[in-house]
């Protein structure tokens, strides 16, 4: 069976399925193969990245170890 024949057979069979959960699962599978791999950033995300890069260029950073200590202190206080 060729790709075209198989695709048409699946399309024909899908038209008889009423199970919404199953159809949603099929939709997810199909979308995973047809989606554009380019991730679209929102304006908010773009602005946060720009701000982060600016902070980095001005050397306004903290070390990973320092951040871990702060996180652990915060978690211990809960």
pLDDT tens across 8-58, in order? Answer: 999 999 999 999 999 999 999 988 887 777 778 999 999 999 999 999 999
For residues 49 and 70, membership in a common domain is answered with yes
For residues 29 and 48, membership in a common domain is answered with no
For residues 50 and 70, membership in a common domain is answered with yes
pTM across the whole model: 0.42
pLDDT of residue 75: 94
Structure tokens at 14: 């899908």
Q: Is the pLDDT of residue 1 over 80?
A: yes
- For residue 76, what are the CA distances in angstroms to 58, 62, 70? 32, 21, 10
53 lies in which domain range? 43-76
Tell me how far apart the 2 most distant CA atoms of the chain are, in Å.
Answer: 64
Number of domains the chain is built from: 2
pLDDT of residue 3: 92
């Amino acid at each position: 069976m060729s790709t075209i024949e198989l695709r048409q057979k699946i399309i024909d069979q899908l038209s008889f399925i009423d199970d919404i959960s199953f159809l949603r699962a099929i939709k997810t599978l199909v979308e995973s193969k047809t989606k554009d791999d380019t991730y679209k950033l929102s304006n908010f995300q773009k602005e946060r990245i720009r701000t982060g890069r600016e902070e980095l260029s001005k050397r306004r950073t903290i070390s990973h170890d320092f951040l871990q200590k702060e996180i652990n202190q915060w978690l211990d206080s809960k």
